Amino acid sequence: MAKAASRFVCSECGAVTTKWSGQCDSCGAWNSISEEAPLAQGPGKQALGGARGRRMRLTDLGQDEAPPPRAASGLGELDRVLGGGLVPASAILVGGDPGIGKSTLLLQAAASFARKGMKAVYISGEEASAQVRLRAQRLGLGDSPVKLGTETNLRDILTTLEAEKPDIAVIDSIQTMWLDTVESAPGSVAQVRAAAHELTTFAKRHGVSVVLVGHVTKEGQIAGPRVVEHMVDTVLYFEGERGHQFRILRAVKNRFGPAAEIGVFEMTGDGLAEVENPSALFLSDRDRPAPGSVVFSGIEGTRPVLVEFQALVAPTPHAQPRRTVVGWDGGRLAMILAVLEARCGIPFAGLDVYLNVAGGMRVSEPAADLAVAAALLSAREDHALPPETVVFGELSLSGALRPVSQTENRLKEAAKLGFTQALLPERSKLGPDAGLGVTALPDLAALVGDVFGAG
């Protein structure tokens, strides 16, 4: 049998090559490629050297399993995103842009847990104790029994945590931690991976919930190896526009609860305040009808949230018209423009198009297609929808409209906020009492012709 050639693996994207290089050809990351021992060839028995393993005990799927116990922090929006509270011995990664408020959020969370009688430790590798204490006092948390440490040497941190036995430990941030057994600089792929591995196994072994703070790269991903996201139980992103005071904590992975759940906070002078009614907050003043503005009734995680799409369409001075999108997918916008042109004869050539979601919210549901199309038409035709109208529905490339999930919840939330009219796809599942006037549209042409009188 031929000797297996060694292989080189990129720790960022997992690409495999036959020779080492400084930069990964697939993902462009630097210094991420390392040699991996060749896999033994041949059937399993040979690969394991012929030794037999222990026989495992297998169980039935039907076996009763109690739901994991949870500890609520008392910060309702955080508990919601965690799926109802913190699961003991779990590992959580919180990512976000620098300055977005991660340290503030986790200091508040640690204080909240500590006030509920849990033992909380906050380790900062980025700030001096005085700085963290100053912030705590500014947040009115000076008297909360959180234990504070400033350290970056993971060996010392783990020894301390083992002795202190806290219920929750916050590590701010994973990129500043280093292990003396790994020969590379803190923040490097190898260090981040090793530190995350040590901390997540520590969480499981010692029953400590560990929260790792992670910086994100310019592309919006947690800096360091992707594998960190696989190691932890829960990945949360803290996002928002720097200029806006709203912050959204979004679960992108959760082994103990629904993913895609969001919590909404407002950054104030006294730290982060919970926003219990996000819909009211994401809507701008809606007294007067405004062309280009359309309210979408969306679902974020388990709850309906109303957001406002704003479109501006203007003749372009450039050969190549601009398409600028904030808070929505640029590819999806291009698709909707193409469907409007091809199926309804509404061209956008020679026109710049700007689309924005108000309040710094980001929408990823295809259910917003119809609202985006309505905002674009409204802006192009300079024809405002009545301000008390909500819109939702998914668009197919043929121009047909598809019903979306949770129609009833979307309508209920709209009615609660004083909306009286809804534009939605035909065949949507309506409850016995929608609570507001419904205009059901079979396709995009009906929106163009019947609603805007264009086409």
- Residue corresponding to tokens 């072994």: 205
Of the two residues 246 and 328, which places its CB atom closer to ligand TYD in the complex?
246
Q: Is 176 in the site for ligand TYD (CB under 6 A)?
A: no
| Residue count, binding to ligand TYD (CB under 6 A) | 15
Give the span between the Cα atoms of 376 and 336, in whole angstroms.
9
Contact 340, 333 (CB under 8 A): no
393 binds, among Mg ion, ligand TYD, none (CB under 5 to 8 A by kind): none
Of the two residues 104 and 191, which places its CB atom closer to ligand TYD in the complex?
104
Six-digit token string for 232 = 């932890």
CB 257, min distance to ligand TYD, A: 23
Site track for ligand TYD across 213-252, x = CB under 6 A: ----------------------------------------
Of the two residues 62 and 243, which places its CB atom closer to ligand TYD in the complex?
243
Give the span between the Cα atoms of 300 and 405, in whole angstroms.
12
Stretch of 35-43, 82-90, 268-276, 338-346 lying at the interface with ligand TYD (CB under 6 A): 268-276
CB 135, min distance to Mg ion, A: 10
139 binds, among Mg ion, ligand TYD, none (CB under 5 to 8 A by kind): ligand TYD
Q: Is 451 in the site for ligand TYD (CB under 6 A)?
A: no
Of the two residues 32 and 103, which places its CB atom closer to Mg ion in the complex?
103
Q: Is 270 in the site for ligand TYD (CB under 6 A)?
A: yes
What size, in residues, is the chain?
455
Nearest to 444 by CA among 411, 382, 404, 396: 396
For ligand TYD, which residue of 119, 133, 135, 206 counts as binding (CB under 6 A)?
A: 135
> What is the H or E stretch that residue 109 is in?
helix 102-115
Give the span between the Cα atoms of 203 and 169, in whole angstroms.
9
Stretch of 64-72, 99-107, 204-212, 352-360 lying at the interface with Mg ion (CB under 5 A): 99-107
Give the span between the Cα atoms of 188 and 288, in whole angstroms.
53
Of the two residues 213 and 367, which places its CB atom closer to Mg ion in the complex?
213
Longest dimension (CA), the chain: 79
For Mg ion, which residue of 103, 188, 200, 297 counts as binding (CB under 5 A)?
A: 103
For residues 167-205, one letter each, b for 16 or more C-beta atoms within 10 angstroms of the residue's C-beta and e for the rest, the string is: bbbbbbbbbbbbbeebeeebbbbbbbbbbbebbbebbee
CB 236, min distance to ligand TYD, A: 12
Stretch of 97-105, 227-235, 318-326, 373-381 lying at the interface with ligand TYD (CB under 6 A): 97-105
CB 267, min distance to ligand TYD, A: 5
Contact 308, 388 (CB under 8 A): no
Residue 384, classified by CB atoms within 10 Å of its CB into exposed (0-12), middle (13-18) or buried (19+), is middle
Q: Is 32 in the site for Mg ion (CB under 5 A)?
A: no
Nearest to 108 by CA among 243, 264, 274: 274
- Residue corresponding to tokens 């917003």: 368
For ligand TYD, which residue of 62, 269, 432, 453 counts as binding (CB under 6 A)?
A: 269
Site residues (vs ligand TYD, CB under 6 A) = 96, 98-104, 135, 138-139, 267, 269-271
Site residues (vs Mg ion, CB under 5 A) = 103
